[in-house]
């Protein structure tokens, strides 16, 4: 099975890349979103600066999202562990001007062919919604 790459639309964030990188490269900042987490779907959640361990309804075991590589102010790469398929994700930042940074999310996943058609559209929508959400984060308040 070969991995398929899914890319989000490109978003615009009106902050500098250094501040955005500082916020996104510390996963503990996700605690700012704690009230948005659906309690009926997420059974356990543990967040550290470089790893999220989560147990969700429908999966037998906890899985992890871990930062595996950072290129300062440009890229944050994540590896996912304990999932039934190989999945990697990365966030790309590109500074256009002092207070103008572009952002794109990419996921590379080994989705079995029989499930690919069911998940592709939802995965694309999820990536685009995630970019929209990341463009709305009050980065100036979190560093």
Which CATH code is given to the segment(s) 4-142?
3.30.530.20
Per residue in 93-140, pLDDT tens? 999 999 999 999 999 998 888 888 888 888 899 999 999 999 999 998
Q: What is the dihedral of CA 11, 130, 77, 93, to 10 degrees?
A: 10
pLDDT for 24 beyond 90: yes
Per residue in 54-102, pLDDT tens? 988 877 789 999 999 999 999 999 999 988 788 999 999 999 999 999 9
Query: Residue 7 in 3-state DSSP?
Result: strand
pTM to 2 decimals?
0.89
């Amino acid at each position: 099975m070969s991995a398929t790459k899914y890319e989000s639309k490109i978003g615009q964030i009106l902050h500098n890349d250094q501040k955005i990188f500082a916020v996104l490269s510390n996963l503990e900042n996700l605690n700012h979103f704690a009230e948005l987490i659906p309690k009926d779907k997420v059974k356990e959640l543990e967040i550290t600066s470089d790893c999220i361990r989560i147990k969700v309804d429908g999966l037998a075991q906890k899985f992890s999202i871990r930062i595996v590589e950072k290129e300062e102010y440009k890229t944050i790469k994540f590896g996912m562990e304990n999932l039934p398929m190989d999945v990697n994700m990365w966030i790309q930042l590109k500074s256009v001007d002092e207070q103008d940074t572009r952002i794109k999310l990419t996921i590379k996943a080994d989705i079995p062919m029989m499930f690919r058609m069911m998940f592709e559209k939802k995965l694309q929508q999820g990536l685009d919604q995630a970019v929209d959400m990341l463009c709305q984060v009050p980065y100036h308040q979190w560093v």
